[in-house]
């Protein structure tokens, strides 16, 4: 029988790495596909940039055979495609969208909401100049003497959606009047009345607490020209200050007058899917 020598040093075994797994070596799927072209992008990124889904989800669609390139079904997510290729998803042709930009501006007064002004006055594009290289434009309008929230973007589909009356995009304004408002006028506005271009219906209206009747908060979704000013002018009031404090779920929180910021991804999703 062989006895153990107590004086003999035992070799310490190196501890096993709990995160190391012995796996069979696999080939790189990129190497398995055809040699990539220098002027293309991988297919799953192409699908994702088309606004269909995320890149991870695009891999699943491609592997299921739901994507074709020039009429050929491609199941390799890393297959390179050129800009001249015709890519279809579930039978519909898709194309990557340009980079979308979404800026929220707290517009000051004495500023024009237009791309160019023949009189050389300051425009909202002058304020956001240098913010991005893409060509952006304002969604809707605020007149020169109205301050508050204004969205600028190059996303034409979203701009059309926000501007269309059927989506009833909510807007809150704070109105400062030249005299105390009559509570009876507030009730009449609340019930609805007619202007020269048709009936007017507001979503909510009320006197701002502590303003002694000079400040009124009003919520509307109609987008007719100068509609808030015209509402109060109809009842004999002059609007001295008009400020849009809420637009389509966006607020002026932490956004000083004359400044802008980029929308967060969460805010963009909210505008696209919940407005």
What is the per-residue pLDDT across 34-80, written as a single tens digit (0 to 9) for each?
Answer: 333 346 889 998 887 776 777 888 899 999 999 999 999 999 999 99
* Mean pLDDT computed over every residue of the chain: 85
- Domain 98-167+252-275, second-level architecture: 2-Layer Sandwich (3.30)
Q: Residue 215 catalytic?
A: no
Question: Would you say the CATH fold of 170-247 matches that of 98-167+252-275?
Answer: no
Q: Name the CATH superfamily housing domain 170-247.
A: Pseudouridine synthase (3.30.2350.10)
Instruction: Check pLDDT > 60 for residue 2.
Output: no
Cα distance between residue 164 and residue 125, in whole Å: 23
pTM: 0.66
Neighbours of 202 (CB within 10 A): 18
Residue range 85-104: mean pLDDT, rounded: 88
Closest CA to 81 of 125, 34, 120: 34
With cut-offs at 50, 70 and 90, classify the pLDDT of residue 160.
confident
The confidence score (pLDDT) of residue 261 equals 97
Q: Distance between alpha carbon 44 and the CA centroid of its chain, in Å?
A: 23
* 190 — pLDDT class (breaks 50, 70, 90): very high
Burial grade of 92 (CB within 10 A; 0-12, 13-18, 19 or more): exposed
13 vs 74, residue with greater confidence: 74
Q: Where are the domains of the chain?
A: 35-94, 98-167+252-275, 170-247
- For domain 35-94, is the CATH number 3.40.50.20? no
CB contact set of 31 (below 8 Å; sequence gap of 6+): none
Catalytic residue among 117, 143, 194, 197: 143
The fraction of the chain above a pLDDT of 90, given in percent, is: 60
For the segment 257-266, the average pLDDT, to the nearest whole number, is 94
DSSP state of 7: T
User: Burial level of 27, CB count in 10 A (0-12/13-18/19+)?
Assistant: exposed
3-state secondary structure of 138: strand
The residue ranges of DSSP E strands in the chain, in sequence order, are 40-42, 67-69, 72-73, 80-82, 87-89, 92-94, 102-107, 137-138, 146-153, 171-177, 193-195, 198-200, 204-207, 215-220, 239-247, 250-251, 260-262
Does residue 180 carry a pLDDT above 70? Answer: yes
- pLDDT of 260 > 90? The answer is yes
Q: What is the pLDDT of residue 11?
A: 52
């Amino acid at each position: 029988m062989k006895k153990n020598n107590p004086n003999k040093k035992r070799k310490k075994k190196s501890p096993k790495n709990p995160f190391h797994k012995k796996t069979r070596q696999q080939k790189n799927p990129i190497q398995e596909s055809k040699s990539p072209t220098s002027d293309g992008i991988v297919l799953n990124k192409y699908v994702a940039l088309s606004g269909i889904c995320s890149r991870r989800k695009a891999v699943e669609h491609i592997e299921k055979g739901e994507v074709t390139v020039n009429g050929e079904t491609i199941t390799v997510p890393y297959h390179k495609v050129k800009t001249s290729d015709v890519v279809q998803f579930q039978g519909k042709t898709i194309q990557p969208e340009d980079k979308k930009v979404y800026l929220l501006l707290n517009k000051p007064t004495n500023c024009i909401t237009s791309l160019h002004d023949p009189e050389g006055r300051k425009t909202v594009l002058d304020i956001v100049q240098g913010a991005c290289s893409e060509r952006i434009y304002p969604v809707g309008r605020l007149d020169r003497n109205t301050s508050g929230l204004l969205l600028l973007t190059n996303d034409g589909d979203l701009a059309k959606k926000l501007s269309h009356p059927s989506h009833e995009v909510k807007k809150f304004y704070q109105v400062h009047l030249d005299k105390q408002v009559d509570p009876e006028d507030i009730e009449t506005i609340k019930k609805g009345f007619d202007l020269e271009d048709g009936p007017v219906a507001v979503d909510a209206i009320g006197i701002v607490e502590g303003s002694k009747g000079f400040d009124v908060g009003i919520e509307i979704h109609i987008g007719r020209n100068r509609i808030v000013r015209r509402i109060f002018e109809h009842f004999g009031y002059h609007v001295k200050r008009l400020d849009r404090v809420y637009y389509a779920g966006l607020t002026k929180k932490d956004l000083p007058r004359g400044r802008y910021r980029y929308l967060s991804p969460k805010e963009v999703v909210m505008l696209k899917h919940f407005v």
